[in-house]
A and B are shown apart, each in its own frame.
Chain A
């Protein structure tokens, strides 16, 4: 082999595409960038096969619709609603905690965060995008679970109604009017325990609670040293938040002075009062939830989201990555 050919440069001419970049003025806040990060987060979580949990949910819902067939009709429907809403609550909490706790440490560990933050992306947008990605995942998964739940509940309700109709048809009534009245009353009672808009408030409450927990977990993950720590501390916050109102009643009582109440209020910012989101038992038993309560719950969720996001930003803005 000729020495001079080895010595000559082996550079291959590479054509870098010409043309000036499209001039863009940097925007302090860009919804487009936030949506891009949220979409990326959603895709990341979906491709981690989190929707396999849906199979477990489907099995739980369908199994509970067949279980305890010897219970009275209301009992059967209540069991189905209980199991379904409990499963929705559990899975949404899992998505909120595990999904969020994974995001920041993984980006930092894989150095993916460098490639994002060295683009013109403010850290607040990065955090908001991550949070909205998880919220998006929870929303989609709850919609899927809710759809399945509604279908199964509707079928179960119709099945019970038709069984009851057969029983009533076999019974003797003093008059046709009495039979119709009885049928109508039974139908109405069963339908009240079936699919109602009130029940959807319960699902909305589950969603809002998971959103608050997502914000809390994101805040914790900005200063936590590991994913496990974030998950454990988020679970602790959830448990404290669940028991908070009870503790407040016990320790503060009705006639507590202003200072303890202010301290309790400050604590409730860090540890969200999750008891306020617990309307599932009420909707399962058929108690009507007022729209105003849902409005307040939604407002409270937004307040928590903003507080947790800003606190996370304060922690993250100077974080050494």
Chain B
């Protein structure tokens, strides 16, 4: 792991002035500090208006910090050159609806200084990666929500950034599309790319993130490795397969024989509705909708 953190946010405070005569202010983010090591998937969660987006915007250089400092791989994030290492997918991005998927990637690729055959090859790779080869020459105006998110992800990583920031990447996307995006996020981690994921879907965050920061009312109220934050220290979970009634009876007896151990629950584990949906539809419903549109 690199010694320089992928992201370092130190004592970040952002105060907005309201457009009122009384010069009122709102503190969106207050003294937030955390580091993200390279190669991690970091989940930034919190209710609406808690300061997640403001934190990300300051990190991306879209807003200036009132106080504090952000850096990306050691470079001050207010500097334009720090963005060479960053890819960003905003929440509900529209992009230029008059452009086709391919033209969109050409546009963003050229902004990142990629040209010629290198750009052409890279676009080919990305269209295959996000499964949009069939719609590459259609205008974005005809794309479904899931397709827009996928082309958005492709533009975010077109210049092979070391850090990818995803703001609600699966907002409004159906379970199949959401799963594809989740798989892409995991694939990014395998390549050593650091990912910051802001999402309201806590199950998704739990599924993919290594560390999590919880922002509430502008303050970072909890931060740490997901496994540490999630574990209930005084409880143990045992999952059995093909356990006969006799085995279960013996387990119960063993537990009850121990004076300080309590059996809290025993039963069949439940699947999630998302997994059930994907099993029964096999993703076909999603694809049909995209092709028909």
By a beta-carbon cutoff of 8 Å, the part of chain A in contact with chain B is 1, 3-7, 10-22, 24, 26, 30, 32-33, 36-37, 40, 43-44, 47-48, 110-112, 114-122, 318, 320-321
Give the secondary structure class of A's interface: loop
By a CB distance below 8 angstroms, the chain B residues around A112 are: 93-96
B113, A30: Cβ atoms closer than 8 Å: yes
| B245 close to chain A: CB less than 8 A | no
Number of contacts between A and B (CB, 8 Å)?
A: 138
B96, A40: Cβ atoms closer than 8 Å: yes
A318, B64: Cβ atoms closer than 8 Å: yes
A119 CA / B60 CA spacing, docked (Å): 9
By a beta-carbon cutoff of 8 Å, the part of chain B in contact with chain A is 16, 57, 60-64, 80-81, 83-84, 86-96, 98-99, 103, 107-108, 110-115, 118, 122, 125-126, 129, 152, 155-157, 159-161, 165, 179, 182-184, 186-188, 190-191, 193, 241, 268-269, 271, 275-276, 278-279
A99 CA / B113 CA spacing, docked (Å): 27
Of A47, A119, A318, the most chain B CB neighbours within 10 A belong to: A119
A122 CA / B111 CA spacing, docked (Å): 11
- B203 vs chain A, min Cβ distance (A): 13
What are 5 sample pairs from A and B whose C-beta atoms fall under 8 A apart? A4-B241, A112-B95, A114-B57, A114-B93, A119-B83
By a CB distance below 8 angstroms, the chain B residues around A110 are: 93-95
When the two chains form the complex, which single residue of B64, B110, B271 contacts A33, counting CB atoms closer than 8 Å?
Answer: B110
Name B125's closest neighbour in chain A (CB-CB).
Answer: A17
Evaluate whether A118 and B80 lie within 8 angstroms (CB atoms) in the complex, with A6-B271, A17-B129 already known. Answer: no
Beyond contacts A14-B129, A36-B107, A321-B63: 5 other A-B pairs, Cβ-Cβ < 8 A, are A13-B183, A16-B188, A26-B81, A47-B98, A121-B83
A43 CA / B107 CA spacing, docked (Å): 11
Evaluate whether A115 and B155 lie within 8 angstroms (CB atoms) in the complex, with A110-B94, A120-B80, A120-B84 already known. Answer: yes
A122, B80: Cβ atoms closer than 8 Å: yes
By a CB distance below 8 angstroms, the chain A residues around B165 are: 118
A6, B62: Cβ atoms closer than 8 Å: no
The 4 A-B residue pairs with the shortest CB-CB distance, nearest first, are A21-B160, A26-B81, A14-B187, A6-B271
- B240 vs chain A, min Cβ distance (A): 11
- A38 vs chain B, min Cβ distance (A): 11
A94 CA / B107 CA spacing, docked (Å): 27
- A1 vs chain B, min Cβ distance (A): 6
By a CB distance below 8 angstroms, the chain B residues around A116 are: 111
A118 CA / B158 CA spacing, docked (Å): 13
By a CB distance below 8 angstroms, the chain B residues around A119 are: 83, 108, 111-112, 159
